């Protein structure tokens, strides 16, 4: 937990906001809102790690704000703690039923509030670690197929909104079964790890993405770049693996481990990713294999 957590404080009373700010400002990055509308806007803009919110506010009370937070994909997982003068058991029950993770009544003891906030943020940290591990391939340490599917969905929609192209590349290690049969699976696993590192190192832009799809097969997403640029990036990836100079088996017919790649570029027009796009890229991967391996083949423009 090296980077400070961010906490959104929502209260219509300036004195209450000031009290919580004085209590927490040394430990967390704070964002302040004085009503429900601001709370929703700032929750989306800042995506805080935790929200501390009063219940009684004008125009939109804390319960309604929580309902709207839970109905928004961007904010539904942000934990909310109610801090309020409403101390009836029914009020607390309602807040917890709506999805609040805690309910603290005023007046509160500062040290107790500080500890409860710390404990909830520790749970956030642990949950994120588990989620991150679940999205990584255990052998290579790069994103796995599950993570690829999530990123693919997100980047597809982003490119559709911006009317910009996205490229999908499918690639695998040439003659990998022959390498495994010659050197053993432990050596093959090390090849996959080295190839994965080379793939990540070859990508130039923050949005470029690579994942292990399964076996010796990998996938890349190259959003918001034209076909010529995507092909150039794919060629850089191919060259990066070849320049590792990992010796292949003597009877493999080639001196080094190489990869073959098939790609396709489209401008998204439908709401979700086209399921046929992967098949097109995969077909051109096999075209690259058929034409001699260690090459990039790209689907022609429509």
Question: Which residues are tagged catalytic?
Answer: 216
pLDDT of residue 72: 87
**Residue ranges covered by each domain of the chain:** 6-134, 145-298
> Higher-confidence residue: 128 or 49?
49
Domains 6-134 and 145-298 belong to one CATH topology: no
Any residues with CB less than 8 A from the CB of 204 and at least 6 apart, and which?
A: 233, 236
With a cut of 50, say whether residue 1 has pLDDT above it: no
Give residue-wise pLDDT tens across range 198-225. Answer: 999 988 888 999 999 989 999 999 999 9
Work out the mean pLDDT of the chain and round it to a whole number. Answer: 92
Architecture in CATH for domain 145-298 = 2-Layer Sandwich (3.30)
pLDDT of residue 89: 86
| Entry field: residues in the chain | 302
CA distances from 281 to 42, 172, 191, 224 (A): 41, 12, 23, 18
Of 88, 44, 35, 90, residue with least CA distance to 65: 35
Q: 6-134, which class in CATH?
A: alpha beta
Count the Cβ atoms, other than its own, within 10 Å of residue 107: 7
Give residue-wise pLDDT tens across range 132-167. Answer: 778 899 899 999 999 999 999 999 999 999 999 999
Give residue-wise pLDDT tens across range 5-18. Answer: 999 999 999 999 99
List of E strands, 11-61: 29-33, 50-53
Contact in structure between 5 and 50 (CB atoms under 8 Å): yes
């Amino acid at each position: 937990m090296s980077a400070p957590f961010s906490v959104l404080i929502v209260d219509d009373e300036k004195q209450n906001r000031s009290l919580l700010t004085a209590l927490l400002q040394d430990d967390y990055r704070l964002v302040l809102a004085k009503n429900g509308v601001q709370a929703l806007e700032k929750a989306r803009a800042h995506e805080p790690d935790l929200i501390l919110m009063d219940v009684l506010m004008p125009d939109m009370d804390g319960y309604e704000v929580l309902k709207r937070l839970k109905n928004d994909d961007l904010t539904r997982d942000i934990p909310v703690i109610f801090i309020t003068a409403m101390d009836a058991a029914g009020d607390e029950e309602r807040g917890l039923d709506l999805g609040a993770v805690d309910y603290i009544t005023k007046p509160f003891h500062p040290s107790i509030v500080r500890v409860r906030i710390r404990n909830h943020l520790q749970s956030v940290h642990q949950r994120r670690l588990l989620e991150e591990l679940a999205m990584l391939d255990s052998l290579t340490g790069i994103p796995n197929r599950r993570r690829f599917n999530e990123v693919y969905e997100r980047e597809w929609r982003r490119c559709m909104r911006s009317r910009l192209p996205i490229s999908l590349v499918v690639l695998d290690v040439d003659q990998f079964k022959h390498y495994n049969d010659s050197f053993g699976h432990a050596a093959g696993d090390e090849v996959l790890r080295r190839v994965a590192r080379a793939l990540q190192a070859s990508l130039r832009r923050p949005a470029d993405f690579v994942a292990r799809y399964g076996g010796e097969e990998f996938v890349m997403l190259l959003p918001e770049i034209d076909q010529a640029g995507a092909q150039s990036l794919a060629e850089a990836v191919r060259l990066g693996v070849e320049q590792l100079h990992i010796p292949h088996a003597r009877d493999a017919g080639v001196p080094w481990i190489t990869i073959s790649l098939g790609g396709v570029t489209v401008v998204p027009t439908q709401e979700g990713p086209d399921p046929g796009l992967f098949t097109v890229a995969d077909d051109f991967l096999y075209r690259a294999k058929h034409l001699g391996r260690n090459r990039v083949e790209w689907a022609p423009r429509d």
